[in-house]
Amino acid sequence: MRIYAAYSHKGGTGKTTSLVLLANAIAARGHSALLLDSDPQQNFRMWRNYGRQMEVWDENLTVEYRDYETTPVMELEDFLVNANDSGKYDYALLNLPGIPHRFNQHALRYAELTLLPFRPTPAELAEMGPALNAIEKLKDDGEVGAARVLFTMIKAESKIPEVWRDYMSEARRRFPCMETIIRDSTIFSDILMRGTLHLNIKKNNGLGKYEVSKALEICDALLTECEAIVAQHEEENS
């Protein structure tokens, strides 16, 4: 079971969206995933409930919630170990709360890749350093996999404000970044209201179907890049 996490020191960066994109790609490939949500908003559950209501939910995706303030470390560890040993899941996606908390530090130890969603604003750039420092500390202890900054909510290339370009350039200079970029599109802004995209495509026709298909291509590109990063990280540390 491969484990990916989304992590930041503040909310609203796109953690849930990033993992939902990965989950869509995983389901579209016919694989299974455990979606573990520790964010109090429980957006994974909302996504699942809406998808089931609209009959566009893939039951290969299993949603679980564990409260970050009340879940003991040993319970979290047992849960992930049992999920891995069950053989039911190809992936586990960890949606961590957007605050510095010891729960995150324990959960990150299991991640083979941690995504740090980043919308290019001064506040998020300021938080990126401490978030990556926390991961680097775990890395020094040999307790965490790779980490990458993922640009989210980015406007079309021709519409990116100059100041955003500066922040993106600064982030690329200072931190390891994903090549895949999540654009500020209608699909991604309301992705939690669409269920799983590959089933959405089968159910709908017309322009919406084309847009959803293009969005699913981005999902697949993100998963492909994540797989390549993990493979490279494993090779470098073997």
Handedness of CA 197, 187, 225, 39 (dihedral sign): negative
The span from the CA of 18 to the CA of 36, in Å, is: 14
pLDDT of residue 169: 82
Hey, what long-range contacts does 211-214 have (CB within 8 A, 24 or more apart)? Answer: 211/185, 211/186, 211/187, 212/187, 214/187
How many Cβ atoms are within 10 Å of 212's Cβ, its own excluded?
20
Q: Give Cα 70 to chain centroid, integer Å.
A: 23
Element at 223 (helix H, strand E)? helix 207-236
Work out the angle between the directed axes of helices 43-53 and 15-28 (0-180°, nearest 10).
40
Domain locations in the chain as residue ranges: 2-236
pLDDT of residue 141: 59
Mean pLDDT of the chain: 85
| CATH number belonging to domain 2-236 | 3.40.50.300
pLDDT digits (tens, 9 = 90+) for 87-141: 999 999 999 887 777 887 788 888 999 998 887 766 666 666 666 666 666 666 5
Q: Which of 76, 87, 91 is nearest to 28 (CA)?
A: 91
CA distances from 150 to 26, 114, 154, 185 (A): 18, 10, 10, 16
- Determine how β-strand 91-95 pairs with β-strand 61-65: unpaired
Q: Phi and psi (nearest 5°) for 4?
A: -120, 145
Dump the DSSP string for 27-94. HHTT--EEEEE-STT-HHHHHHHHHHHTT---TTEEEEE--TTT--HHHHHHHHHHHHHHT--SEEEE
Q: Which of 95, 35, 42 is nearest to 61 (CA)?
A: 35
Per-residue pLDDT of the chain (238 residues; tens, 9 = 90+): 999 999 876 666 788 999 999 999 999 999 999 999 998 888 999 999 999 999 999 999 999 999 988 888 888 889 999 999 999 999 999 998 877 778 877 888 889 999 988 877 666 666 666 666 666 666 665 556 788 888 887 777 667 778 777 777 877 887 788 999 888 777 888 888 889 999 988 877 565 788 888 899 999 999 999 999 999 988 887 7
